[in-house]
Structures are given as C-alpha cells and as structure tokens.
Amino acid sequence: MIKSMTGFGRERRSFDKREILVEIRAVNHRYYEFSARTPRACGYLDDKLKSLLGNTISRGKVEISVFITNREGVNADIAVNKELALGYLTALRSSSSELSLEDDLALSDVVRLPDVFTVVKQQDDEEEIWQQVSETAKAALEKFIEMREAEGAKLYVDVIYRLQTIEDSVSQVEKLSPESVTIYRKKLTDRIAEVVGDRSIDEARVLTEAAIFADKIAVDEETVRLRSHISQFRSLLESSEPIGRKLDFLVQEMNREINTTGSKAQMLEITNIVLDMKGELEKIREQIQNIE
C-alpha cells in the first residue's frame, strides 16, 4: 500500500515524574528532511529522534515537537539550612532577653525566615527521559503512519483511474492510426487525379508514397512502450516500499512517448486524444508528488 508524504500524529503519555506530548507532522519533500523542537535542556534527544523516525520515513519534510512537563515537586529536593536557622533563633532569643520580650518563637516563624529553605533541582536522568520520550514518539508515529496510509489509499484510487483513462486512450490511438494511412492514400489519389486528368494513375507510386507516410506516422513502438510503462506503474503502486522517485521517472518516460505520438499525429481526433492523455498524465504527476 502506497503512503502519502503528508501526515500528522499526536500522543500524550503520563509517567511518574513527568507528562510528555509528542507531535509529528510532515509535508512533501524530495528527500527526508528532519527537524526537531525539544526543550532546551534536552538537545540530546534530537539525533535519537531523527534516527527513530528515519527508520520508518524515507521521504518528506518531517518536524517532531516534544513537550515535557515535570510534575510539581517531584524533580526537586528541599533542604533546611539548620545552621542558618539556629543562628536566627540564637540572635532572636538573645535580643528578646536583652529587650525583656516574651520568647514565643514557633516553627511557623522559622518558615518565614529568609534562606532557611533551599530548593535543589534534581539532575534529570537522560536515559529515563529518552525511554519515555521514545515510547511516546513511537505511539505518535503509529498514528502518523495510519494517516499517511489513509491518504495514500485515496491517491491510489485516483491514480489507478487516470492510468486506465490513459490506457483507453492508447487503444483509441492504435485504432485510429491505420485510418490515417487510408485517408492519406485517398487524398493522394484524388490530388494526382486532379493533376493528370484523364491519364492513368500510377498505383505503384501511390502505394509507395502511402507506405512512406505510414512509416512516418507509425506509433506502434510508442504505444507498446506506453502500455509497458502503465503496467510497471500499476505494479509499483502495489509495492510496500517507497516508490515516489520511481513513479516520477515513469511519468517522464510516459510523457516522452505521448509527446512523440502527438508529433506523429495526422488526424485531429488523435491530436485531441493526445492532449487528453497529457492532461491526465499531468494530474498523475501532481498526485505522485505526494507519494513517499
């Protein structure tokens, strides 16, 4: 099943110490282009995420965003500066004695003293964070791929329909092409008859000219190759491998054969059919720009 290059996947996971949100989005691009938006302190995640996604995505401009929210208090240690608190108490009690004040100090008073409590941020465990981020990213990647496959299914239906339309047009060209020779032979005979009047017409010369004309306008080779390209195109669409670049090459080859057929056309009907084929092929070209 073919995949579209555009897609979006989002996953949120909660862990003991943190909550992680991962979003993956992609648009068309000729190659695999990766960019990451991660917290400033987690730059080490970028290369790991690029490798993780690169194992699954071969083409597209891909951006992954990672948001990490630490749960309140779980990533910090609170320390009491006992020496400082004791110094405050000693100084206050000494003053209360000297000033004849009641010593009514309590724990609630100590809490209000400046710098008695110190909040020390715990060092993040990079391996733990990566395990949690990768778990979340894999889930987001699954949703991303599902969307790509759904879009790819729509592209498949459209491209298959247009390939059939082109193939039907090839059949029409193959049917009309011999008629061009018959029409040319009749016109040639009529023209010679006008020139020579009552004299006899050299049938052998007419046949020779008709044969030369038939060779000039013959499109057998072009239509055979065109049918072969269409068959290859259909086979590639059934592949599970990335095929975008191969399809692009086939479209170029099909366009070459259609152009050559058009240059040989001597009937307005064939010219119109060729124009229709070029229109359908251009629509296919636009569609495959979005195929991985």
pLDDT over 80 at 234, yes or no: yes
pLDDT over 90 at 8, yes or no: yes
**Percent of the chain with pLDDT strictly greater than 90:** 51
Identify the three-state secondary structure at position 55.
Answer: coil
Whole-number CA gyration radius for the chain: 39
| Mean pLDDT calculated for residue range 9-21 | 94
pTM of this prediction exceeds 0.75: no
pLDDT at 247: 95
105: number of Cβ within 10 Å:
13
Which helix H or strand E contains 240, and what residues bound it? none
- HSE of 279 in the Cβ direction (CA atoms, 13 Å)? 8
| Mean pLDDT calculated for residue range 211-216 | 52
Residue 141 burial by Cβ neighbours in a 10 Å radius (0-12, 13-18, 19+):
buried
Walk me through the domains of the chain, giving residue ranges and CATH numbers: 7-71+127-148 (3.30.230.70), 76-121 (no CATH), 150-288 (no CATH)
| Mean pLDDT calculated for residue range 54-60 | 91
